[in-house]
Amino acid sequence: MTPALRLLLDQNFPTPPYGLRFELLDKTVTLDHFSGAYPNYARVSTPDWKVYLLAKLGKYDALVTSDYHQTNADTEMIALDVTKIGLITWKSGEDDAVVLYGQLLAYMPQIVAQLRRVPATVVRLPKARLSPREHFSRPGDILRERRKRDGLSYQERRSGALAIMRAGLSDAADAPLQALIPPH
């Protein structure tokens, strides 16, 4: 089995939400918080470039930070280039610990695959936001899109779907469910 990648959580990265045990959900990585790995440096303000050097010294594969501004700093990018470790951050700011850890979990298979191929990769995760135009719709909106594709009207779809539901609710125990289906 391939050893887990070691990720260092930056000094500004929040602790996991209560009850979240990342190591039980994803065994491809281990997470260590900067304050636990380097308590003497965590007590003072440590420049980000120095955090990268410490991560390399501690044999970490990548640093995780919610401070996306680090990618705009030449010193930090040169330190990453010199150390050949990865950086995982966001395209824009995110403060919610649940969102941060949720996205790490969701994207970790792709992140791990990339870091194994190219260890010195900067990964910028997208903002976790739903767009009303792209992500929200009503059933009628979806059915109208299908009509454009296959020419079946709403009434044709409704009649067919209700017939399937009625046939599937023929058991006496389904009586409460049958009452929810409109009559012919």
Query: 62: domain CATH number?
Result: 3.40.50
Distances (CA, A) of 126 to 82, 100, 103, 163: 26, 11, 9, 43
Q: Is residue 55 part of a domain?
A: yes
Tell me: do 9 and 87 sit in the same domain. yes
Domain that holds residue 85: 5-125
Q: 83 versus 30: which is more confidently predicted?
A: 83
Tell me: do 31 and 103 sit in the same domain. yes
Tell me: do 147 and 120 sit in the same domain. no
Number of domains in the chain: 2
Which of 69, 46, 42, 59 minimizes the C-alpha distance to 5?
59
pTM attached to this predicted model: 0.78
Q: Is residue 184 part of a domain?
A: no
Q: Is residue 183 part of a domain?
A: no
Q: Is residue 165 part of a domain?
A: yes
Q: Is the pLDDT of residue 20 over 80?
A: no
pLDDT band per the 50, 70, 90 thresholds, residue 67: very high
Tell me: do 150 and 70 sit in the same domain. no
Which of 15, 29, 106 minimizes the C-alpha distance to 61?
29
Radius of gyration of the chain (CA): 25
Q: Is residue 116 part of a domain?
A: yes
Q: Is the pLDDT of residue 117 over 80?
A: yes
Looking at 57-71, 76-90, 157-171, which range is the least confident one? 157-171
pLDDT band per the 50, 70, 90 thresholds, residue 25: confident
Residue-wise pLDDT tens digits, 136-183? 888 988 888 899 899 999 889 989 999 999 999 988 889 999 999 998
Q: Is the pLDDT of residue 18 over 90?
A: no
